[in-house]
Amino acid sequence: HLSKLPKVETTIFTVMSRLAHQHKAINLSQGFPDFPTDPKLIELVTKAMKAGYNQYAPMPGIYSLREVIAEKIESLHKKTYDPEHEITITAGATQAIFTIISTFIRPGDEVLLFKPAYDCYEPAIVVNGGIPVFVQLQGKEFKVDWSEVKNKISSKTKMVIINTPHNPSGTVLSKEDMLRLEAVLADTDIILLSDEVYEHIVFDGKAHQSASRFPGLAERTFICASFGKTFHNTGWKTGYCVAPKQLMEEFRKTHQFNVFCANHPMQRAFATYLEDASSYLELPAFYERKRDAFLEMISGSKFSFTPSKGTYFQLLDYSAITDESDVDFAKRLCTEYGLASIPISVFNVNNEDNRLLRFCFAKKEETLQKAARILNTTQ
């Protein structure tokens, strides 16, 4: 009776990174770059520290950073957020997500989300007494069945969580998907949590369909973003969320007692760095080259795949190699072959037939080559 989360174990990211370390394996499991963040950004942080920005930031984040975020969203998605009331800087997207869920979810409230689901949503719902209601994404392209969504929405549904681009599948929601969602949520009070941490990693010339582009969604939506993903510094744990004023007021009531504020010197650095839009506009091409190079390197292997449409993850299907479970095969690939990945069943795929592993390609060319050499010889 002690535990509110009896089913929760150590996250797979900790487990696989530890296993990778023990076996000196190449680590394509936990999603983080193995190349450095821009030295200019490090200089800006150092400068901020030397200038004395070492005490608490204002509770919602420094104003200049909120302002550049508002400008970025306006230029990309033609939606205006008021930096004063509608943007809050957070200690990464994870904190934003947890705070949003605890601010609004009461015991018995239903939260609709999609499987496979990034692993931080469900525990946050359950610890607050909410009930997760899952909709399985369909087929190799991980498509949403919107009629199923419609059927699963009830008078108890308080929130819907989407994630585009999607971790772990690398799929993206299209404009048509977003319009369907807008129609499903019309005439309800349902809050939308749109996890858009990979907003700047969308491939093949496509535009990211942010919830902020759709008025019927934006009016009810928290969008969560992460500088860690965009600027190659996941360890800095800095991100933000945006929402209409009324929702953000409630969020800040919890946020101020949850962390009070995100760290100050990093905020100073990002405020200056974001003034140059090339820092994020060049990201899709940067990661698309990595995706293409990685897939080219393993084109002769026994793994099959549908190229990732966004994020820095690629799923590989190993059914031509073995019928082991994904957890067993991921462990064997790590301990016997020296390559760590993530079995996607941990993202709530309770499908016995799942034969997919997730590989992070936010890696240096030489790391990807070493990984490919292993994948090309895996039997």
CB of 323 to ligand PMP, least distance (A): 28
Q: Which residue number, 157 or 238, has a Cβ lying nearer to ligand PMP? A: 238
CB of 169 to ligand GLN, least distance (A): 12
- Tokens at residue 336, please? 């016997």
**Residues at the contact surface with ligand PMP, assessed by CB under 6 A:** 31, 92-94, 118, 163, 167, 195, 197, 226, 228, 234, 239
Q: Which residue number, 11 or 272, has a Cβ lying nearer to ligand GLN? A: 11
Strands 221-226 and 239-242: antiparallel
Decide if 254 contacts 260 (C-beta within 8 A): no
Does 116 interact with ligand GLN (rule: CB under 6 A)?
no
Q: Which does 30 bind (CB under 5 to 8 A by kind): ligand PMP, ligand GLN, none?
A: ligand GLN
CB of 255 to ligand PMP, least distance (A): 14
Q: Which residue is nearest to ligand GLN (CB)?
A: 31
Question: How far apart (Å, rounded) are the C-alpha atoms in residues 235 and 255?
Answer: 20
Decide if 50 contacts 246 (C-beta within 8 A): no
Contacts of residue 133, defined as CB under 8 A and 6 or more positions apart, other chains included, come to 110, 111, 112, 113, 152, 157
Within a 10 A sphere around the Cβ of 377, how many other Cβ atoms? 10
Does 30 interact with ligand GLN (rule: CB under 6 A)?
yes
Question: How far apart (Å, rounded) are the C-alpha atoms in residues 1 and 345?
Answer: 27
Can you say whether residue 92 is alpha, beta or left, with left for phi > 0 and alpha for psi between -120 and 50 degrees?
Answer: left
Question: How far apart (Å, rounded) are the C-alpha atoms in residues 75 and 156?
Answer: 37
CB of 251 to ligand GLN, least distance (A): 21
Does 123 interact with ligand GLN (rule: CB under 6 A)?
no
Q: Which residue number, 149 or 368, has a Cβ lying nearer to ligand GLN? A: 368
Q: Which does 92 bind (CB under 5 to 8 A by kind): ligand PMP, ligand GLN, none?
A: ligand PMP
Decide if 355 contacts 348 (C-beta within 8 A): no
Could you identify the residue written with the tokens 């490090």? 42
Within a 10 A sphere around the Cβ of 25, how many other Cβ atoms? 23
CB of 8 to ligand GLN, least distance (A): 13
**How many residues bind to ligand GLN according to rule CB under 6 A?**
5
Q: Which does 53 bind (CB under 5 to 8 A by kind): ligand PMP, ligand GLN, none?
A: none
Residues 163-202 binding ligand GLN (CB under 6 A) are: 167
CB of 167 to ligand GLN, least distance (A): 5
Applying CB under 6 A, the residues found at the interface with ligand GLN are 11, 13, 30-31, 167
